[in-house]
Amino acid sequence: MLPEKVLKALNNQINAEMYSGYLYLSMESYFQSVSLSGFAAWMRGQVQEELFHGMKFYDYVNERGGRVTLDSIDRPDAEWKTPLDAFEHILKHEQMVTVMVNELMSLAVEEQDYATTIFLQWFVSEQVEEEATVGEVVDKLRLIKNESSGLFFLDAELGKRVFTLPEE
């Protein structure tokens, strides 16, 4: 059985993961509207990944005999000035998610819920990858600046991404 504080925090994390999917979906729409279909495809992969994360938390709560309580999902931003602005937004968002996962881990340790600490280890590693991946795109966009050929090249590169379910 999940400790009550851990259950509440896991439910909050489910909401945060679903919000992340919603944010990436909004960004996909933004990139489609500015004819950067590769960026949009990359965002679609992120939508699928974030929904997978949310469902992974959802299934874990149910497996441990807890009750998932869904809350409303906040409306994400819909406009960004540039692709760099959008990816800097994503980087800040992923850093916030990392803080949330780390706080969840600390709470699970405090509550001596060792099964949850084992479960969360996957997410700790996942967030390292998320920040590194987004950080690399931010770095490339900063190098490109306003050079359209670089932007189109990066658009083609990002468009190659295909979401595959992670091995667990």
User: How do residues 96-126 score in pLDDT, each as one tens digit?
Assistant: 999 999 999 999 999 999 999 999 999 999 9
Average pLDDT rounded to a whole number, residues 147-158: 96
Q: 101, 105, 45, 43: which is closest to 76 by C-alpha?
A: 43
Residue 163 domain-assigned?
no
CATH number, domain with residue 133 = 1.20.1260.10
pTM of the model: 0.94
Number of domains in the chain: 1
Q: 54, 35, 36: which is closest to 46 by C-alpha?
A: 54
Domain that holds residue 133: 4-158
CA dist 6 and 1 (Å) reads 10
User: How do residues 1-52 score in pLDDT, each as one tens digit?
Assistant: 899 999 999 999 999 999 999 999 999 999 999 999 999 999 999 999 999 9
**Structure token digits, residue 12:** 């909050």
Residue 25 domain-assigned?
yes
